Amino acid sequence: MKELLSKIKAFFCGKNAHAKNAVRYFLIVVAFLMFLFFSNDFDLINIQQSAIVMAIGIDKEEEGFSITSQIAVPSASSSQGEKGSKTVNVVTKGKTVAQALEKVNEKTGWYPKLVFCRLLVLGESATQENVFDCLEYFLRDEYITDGCLLAACDGKAEELLSTQTPIDASGALAIEKVLSNHAERVGASLPNTLRLFAASYFGEAKSGFLPLVKAEPLSPQEQGQGGGSESSSSGQTGQSGQNGEKSGGQSGQESQPEKVFSASETTLFVDGKRIGKLSKEESFLYALVKNQLRLASYTLPYGQETYTMTIKRSSPSVKLEVGKEAKLTVELALTAGVADASQAKDLPDTADEGDFPKPLLQEASKKLEEDIRALFEKCRALGFDLFDAIDKLQKYENEHFEDKKDTLLQEVGLSVKVAVRGIR
Amino acid sequence: MIKDYKLPAVNTRQLCFLIAFLFPIARFLEAPRLLASAAKGDLLIPALLSLLLQGASIAAFLFLSYKTDKTLFQLIENALGKWVAKAVYFLLTAYYLFAAVLPLLDLEKFSYAAFFDTAPTTFSFAPFFLLSAFLCTKNFKAVGRSADLCLFLFLLPFAGILLMSIGSGDFSSLLPVFSEPFKSSLKAVAVTKPHFADGALLLPLLGSYKYEKGAAKKAGVAFAVSVLFTLLFLAFFYSVYTTLSPREHYAFAKIAQYFPALAVVGRIDLILVYLLSIVYLFYACLPLQLAVDCFCKAVNLEKKGLYSAVLHIGLFVFVLFFNSRYDAVYALYSQYLYPLFFLFADLLPLLFPLLLIKKKTKAGTK
């Protein structure tokens, strides 16, 4: 003890011959503590006590929020002959989202870890009022990334996340598949993230969109073929607990019809409230103008037949000009080829210079122009800024912004030009 | 007579690194959010205005170091007397302590949010005080060495973070330039002044830094690099968060997280964030080092250890009590106390060259 005191004294006073060593000891202690400082959590991450939340479903109720947390449960795969990891849906309620999430810990003893949460699903009730009543917590919270996928659903988010699917043991992972980058690239869905949705909400137009996730039942034949392998590790038993709260393991004891997910429809939001939705075809058109699609499939009737084209590349451009009248110009350059027809065709007929492609491409161009105009008018009537006209007004025609921002959407004219270039 | 310390020189390279790699970090944590709150997409304009003011302070420092080898204390003492010099050094001590508060609270909050998944213990931040207390016992050589280290600690992570965030950004969100009233830009300059007050951090280095031939050019390039890094970072930040920018704390820890590969390999961007955090550690220590040095010179103390220890115990207690009043402290600084930063970081460095004129007149009368 005396030696230690003399070393401390030496360090501060510098008169001791061992002062140099004291500094070294001090540096070692500092280095060790800095290591702890930068990599703490040694004692706090305990896999047995942590709930790795993969997805969260949010439903609004009269007295607050109902949160469904889909939690991954690590388990030894060989123990019961199960494949894949188990998931558990824990339903908790609270006056606020944070309170409801906190109850996961109260009910299960698991501390909910949101760092791996990649999906938020809003139930229909949550989208009837400002969705940011539900989302504010996730925007503020530093432990969940706002890069997570955000989606809406009809009905309850709890039911959607509890859906048994042959695609994956976890409903959340199966939903993420239909909202993947690939699905976005081929125009199959219009995924959105919390960050981008919130950015559009806080923007001038206050318009945003979310993919509408649906669980679609498989036919009995399909269920027979695909449902066997992982069904034992999916599904929610839905045991009732106190206060109407439920927590259920994925026991697989109850047989529920298996479903697959789709996100081909899109919900529209203005001021954070759901104001309408786009059908599958309309969503595809929106994707065509919004994103640069690759290898997208487009089917159209022509004559007595139906043709499917593969859009190998789409290059959209939307410009706003404000003169005496405001005008939006949508230009869409597509490179597409005929992939198939409802009746067999000779190969030369569907080739680049064959009989069919040219008039078919013209027909496609004409139909796309009409459909895009109709889509725009539908959204205009809903007050939804489909082509970000207000955003463009602010960025590129800022001198007119204050005068026009409130009336632009109703006044703006639309010109659509679709050029389809054929390619095999 | 105050003892004339033999201060080891901070060389030109280290000075340049200090300007180019250490000072920009102050603007990467909370300043982007504050700038975006006040000036929205025009956040680059107030940042540029603040940086130009800082450039003037750096130029004044270089001018002084070119003209004289004396320390600031000696310069004031020769021109205005010992007691004035002591008073100025007490004031500078108070200012550096005052200027250290925000980086300290920022670093504490940031490290808890970025590096801990759950509630950290109160003492998790204590190692910072140990490191800082140790650095404060050292002379300005430690500042120069910190600057040397920052070259590698800053450049690689900075480039990495920008590269990872480039795909997530929409740079058109910065348009149109000058869309906000100029008043908003001036307000942004005021509220972010504590983050752009590095001009004052060089003053005590006077006498420790020996002006070398061509140093002004090199420092000019370093300053230009510092401006470029700052503006580039702010542009990336706003392009990623656009309308969400005013809500986003801890900018440099976040903007790279949307890099697609991270969904597969995990948050490897945090390695880069760790490295930049070390640079921020050095930055947060700097005003404390200067405060200890100024105080010791003012009271003619040779050994800094005791004062450093007392100061850091006090700071630890301060952080314990005030970390829960983070927003109140921020509001106090950005709404009421920011003129002090203008006074010490911009005006004072520009006034010190006048001491040389006075000295000449005195000499002339003799």
- The full set of domains in chain A, from first to last, is 2-31 (no CATH), 50-277 (no CATH), 293-422 (3.30.300.210)
Quote the longest CA-to-CA distance of chain B.
Answer: 76
Preceding omega of A357 cis (within 30 degrees of 0) = no
Q: What is the interface size between A and B, counted as CB pairs within 8 Å?
A: 90
CA dihedral of A119, A125, A127, A133, whole degrees rounded to 10: -80
* A37·B306 Cβ contact <8 A: no
User: Residue range A100-116: average pLDDT?
Assistant: 84
- The helix-helix angle for B31-39 and B182-191 (nearest 10°) equals 150
User: Residue range A327-346: average pLDDT?
Assistant: 84
Domains of chain B listed by start with CATH number: 12-360 (1.20.1740.10)
Residue A276 has a pLDDT of: 93
Q: Give the closest residue to B138 by CA, choosing from B146, B150, B148.
A: B146
* A199·B249 Cβ contact <8 A: no
User: Residue range A130-140: average pLDDT?
Assistant: 90
Return the top range by mean pLDDT from A70-74, A121-125, A356-360, B357-361: A121-125
pLDDT band at A249 (very low <50, low <70, confident <90, very high): very low
- For the whole model, what pTM was predicted? 0.86
A303 CB-near residues (< 8 Å, 6+ apart): none
Residue A5 has a pLDDT of: 65
Indicate the average pLDDT of chain A.
80
* A30·B179 Cβ contact <8 A: no
Out of B247, B263, B277, the one facing A139 most closely (by C-beta) is: B247
User: Residue range A391-404: average pLDDT?
Assistant: 89
Q: Give the closest residue to B136 by CA, choosing from B322, B260, B289, B354.
A: B289
**In the predicted structure, residue A39 carries a pLDDT above the cut 60:** no
* B118·A41 Cβ contact <8 A: yes
Q: Which helix (H) or strand (E) holds A418?
A: strand A413-422
- Identity of the residue numbered B256: A
Residue B102 has a pLDDT of: 92
More confident of the two residues B317 and A337:
B317
Using alpha carbons, list the distances in angstroms from residue B216 to A192, B62, B68, B94: 50, 7, 15, 30
* B175·A395 Cβ contact <8 A: yes
Using CB atoms within 10 A of its CB, is residue A229 exposed (0-12), middle (13-18) or buried (19+)? exposed
User: Residue range A37-45: average pLDDT?
Assistant: 53
Q: Give the closest residue to A45 by CA, choosing from A141, A107, A116, A113.
A: A113
Residues of chain B positioned with their CB less than 8 A from the CB of A45 = 117
**In the predicted structure, residue A53 carries a pLDDT above the cut 70:** yes
Q: How far apart are CA A165 and CA A227, in angstroms?
A: 7
- Lowest-pLDDT range of A118-127, A315-324, A374-383, B124-133: B124-133
Residues of chain A positioned with their CB less than 8 A from the CB of B175 = 395-396, 398
Question: What DSSP letter does each residue of B12-80 carry, written as one string?
Answer: HHHHHHIIIIIGGGGGSSSHHHHHHHHHGGGTHHHHHHHHHHHHHHHHHHHHHHHH--S-HHHHHHHHH
Out of B111, B241, B243, the one facing A37 most closely (by C-beta) is: B111
Residues of chain B positioned with their CB less than 8 A from the CB of A398 = 175-176, 179
Q: Tell me the pairing of strands A50-61 and A111-113.
A: parallel
**In the predicted structure, residue A243 carries a pLDDT above the cut 50:** no
Low-confidence ranges of chain B (pLDDT < 50): 1-5, 7, 363-366
Return the top range by mean pLDDT from A80-84, A164-168, B24-28: B24-28
Tens-digit pLDDT profile for residues B26-35: 999 999 999 9
User: Residue range A240-257: average pLDDT?
Assistant: 48
Q: How far apart are CA A287 and CA A274, in angstroms?
A: 19
User: Residue range A339-345: average pLDDT?
Assistant: 76
pLDDT band at A272 (very low <50, low <70, confident <90, very high): very high
Residue A88 has a pLDDT of: 87
* A203·B306 Cβ contact <8 A: no
Out of B113, B243, B250, the one facing A199 most closely (by C-beta) is: B243
Q: Which two tokens stand for residue A97?
A: 């989202």
